[in-house]
């Protein structure tokens, strides 16, 4: 089969002919028909995450070997079953839930596979969807998507479930309070499109790019602000009567999390989702003095994925704009995403 692989960190992806995997045990082989390109793929492509200062989290040190096939927003048709696979049939169409743990340890047993110390993530640890075929380790990770838009359904496996899980962490807000989403890129737009289905708060969206603020309004934001504007914090504190009750930072840079801290009401919560990276000087006393909660959210659970697809199917989620790109353009598409040319999400189709 054809696969589009990282052969050297940060260098253009290469089209390579590799053996089509054969499903063993409980594994299921999926013929990939759509595979979203996620912003985090750019970091995987580079081979590291920026942890601030000169600290880099190297993926090679975490055991990722090249050549590697990325793609963790995968959807397609079941093509073959391992001898012990059950609960699924050849021809069934499913999303491959990628955030998979070892399945044997205690955290996996209680459903927190995201906290597993031996993850088996599709497209970040194991070969993913920038290829004609992909393996799911067990049929339970295959989620139905019938009745939904296919490219959008693919993006739900990462950007969708990531946005949903972050919003669930602030779903206690009332319609009298304000939720601020920072960053209307791929994941941020997904969050804006489902915010009203998960959380009752009035929705403010902050982005430095006028085109992305316009996209935010189209996706359902009540108010947009330019967080690069020197007067933005004062204006927000004024218009919300003391600050936003919660902020979700889909960028995850010192400037954006810092902006959220300044615009936050007392007792507020900041959820950091984005992996832009960098280090933030944190006035530690502001945590108790503002009774501030600063938490992180990473992708989402299999249960959240199923909840999200029920909302999508019920028409409660405004789909993110997607741009289909042929699979053979995988390398160019991820380069275009890195160059900031994408509004919404690129989805490789085959
Ligand atoms: Zn992703
Ligand atoms: Zn585990």
Residue 51, pLDDT > 80, answer no
Determine, yes or no, domain membership for 229.
yes
The answer to whether the beta carbons of residues 311 and 212 sit under 8 Å apart is: no
**CB 40 within 8 Å of CB 350:** no
pLDDT confidence of 50, banded at 50, 70, 90?
confident
| 164 domain residue, yes or no | no
Strands 28-36 and 133-136: antiparallel
User: Over the stretch 118-140, which tens digit does the pLDDT of each residue have?
Assistant: 999 999 999 999 999 999 999 99
Instruction: Please check whether residues 206 and 251 belong to one and the same domain.
Output: yes
Q: Give a yes or no: residue 86 inside a domain.
A: yes
CB 146 within 8 A of CB 224: no
The pTM assigned to this predicted structure is 0.91
Q: Provide the residue range defining the domain that includes 263.
A: 170-296
Task: Report pLDDT for 164.
Answer: 98
Burial (0-12, 13-18, 19+ Cβ within 10 Å), 75: buried
Tokens 């955290």 -> residue: 107
**Shortest-distance ligand to the CA of residue 109:** 2
Q: Is residue 13 part of a domain?
A: yes
Residue 234 domain flag: yes
* Confidence at residue 191, expressed as pLDDT on a 0 to 100 scale: 96
**What pLDDT is recorded for position 345?**
86
Report CA(101)–ligand 2 centroid distance (Å): 5
> Of the given ranges (52-61, 77-86, 297-306, 331-340), which has the lowest mean pLDDT?
52-61
pLDDT for 148-206, tens place per residue?
999 999 999 999 999 999 999 999 999 999 999 999 987 899 999 999 999 999 999 99
Judgement on whether residues 287 and 329 belong to the same structural domain of the protein: no
Residue 278's pLDDT is what?
Answer: 87
- Ligand nearest 299 Cα, by number? 1
The CATH number that applies at residue 227 is 3.40.50.720
CA of 34 relative to ligand 2 center, distance in Å: 28
How many angstroms separate the CA atoms of 137 and 25, rounded?
A: 8
pLDDT of residue 308: 97
What is the average per-residue pLDDT within 83-87?
96
On the question of pLDDT at 229 being above 90, the answer is yes
The answer to whether residue 165 is domain-embedded is no
CB 350 within 8 A of CB 327: yes
Rounded percentage of the chain residues whose pLDDT exceeds 70:
99
Distance CA 155, CA 37 (A): 8
More confident residue, 214 or 320: 214
Confidence of residue 9 (pLDDT cuts 50, 70, 90): very high
Query: What is the rounded distance in angstroms from the CA atom of residue 141 to the CA atom of residue 97?
Result: 5
CATH code of 85's domain: 3.90.180.10
Number of domains in the chain: 2
Kindly state whether residues 117 and 263 are assigned to the same domain: no
Contacts of 113 (CB under 8 A, 6+ apart): 99, 100, 101, 103, 107, 119, 301, 302
Asked if 10 contacts 48 with a C-beta cutoff of 8 angstroms, the reply is no
- If you measure from the C-alpha of residue 200 to the centroid of ligand 1, how many angstroms do you get, rounded to a whole number? 26
Residue 335 CA, ligand 2 centroid: distance in Å: 34
> For residue 108, which ligand has an atom nearest its CA?
2
Q: Is 190 inside any structural domain?
A: yes
Band of pLDDT at residue 66, cut at 50, 70 and 90: very high
């Amino acid at each position: 089969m054809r696969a589009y692989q990282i052969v050297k960190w940060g260098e253009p992806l290469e089209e390579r002919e590799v053996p089509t995997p054969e499903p063993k045990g409980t594994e299921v082989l999926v013929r990939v028909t759509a595979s979203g390109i996620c912003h985090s793929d750019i970091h995987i492509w580079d081979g590291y995450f920026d942890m601030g200062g000169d600290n880099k989290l190297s993926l090679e040190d975490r055991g990722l070997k090249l050549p590697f096939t990325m793609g963790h927003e995968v959807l397609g048709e079941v093509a073959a079953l391992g001898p012990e696979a059950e609960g699924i049939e050849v021809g069934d169409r499913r999303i491959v839930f990628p955030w998979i743990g070892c399945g044997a340890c205690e955290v996996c047993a209680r459903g927190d596979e995201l906290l597993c110390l031996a993850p088996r993530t599709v497209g970040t640890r194991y070969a993913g969807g920038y290829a004609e075929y992909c393996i799911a380790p067990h049929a339970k990770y295959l989620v139905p998507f019938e009745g939904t838009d296919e490219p959008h359904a693919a993006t739900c496996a990462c950007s969708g479930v990531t946005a949903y899980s972050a919003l669930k962490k602030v779903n206690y807000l009332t319609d009298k309070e304000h939720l601020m989403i920072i960053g209307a890129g791929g994941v941020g737009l997904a969050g804006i499109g489902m915010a009203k289905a998960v959380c009752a708060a009035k929705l403010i969206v902050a982005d430095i790019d006028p085109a992305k603020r316009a996209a935010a309004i189209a996706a359902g934001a009540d108010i947009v602000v330019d967080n690069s504007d020197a007067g933005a914090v004062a204006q927000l504190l004024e218009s919300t009567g003391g600050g936003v009750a919660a902020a979700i930072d889909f960028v995850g840079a010192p400037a954006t999390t810092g902006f959220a801290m300044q615009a936050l009401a007392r007792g507020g919560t900041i959820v950091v989702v984005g992996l832009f990276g960098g280090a933030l000087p944190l006035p530690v006393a502001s945590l108790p003095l503002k009774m501030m909660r600063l938490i992180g959210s990473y992708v989402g659970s299999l249960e959240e994925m199923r909840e999200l697809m029920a909302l999508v199917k019920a028409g409660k989620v405004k789909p993110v704009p997607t741009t289909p790109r042929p699979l053979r353009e995988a390398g160019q598409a991820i380069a275009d995403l890195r160059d900031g040319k994408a509004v919404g999400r690129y989805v490789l189709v085959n």
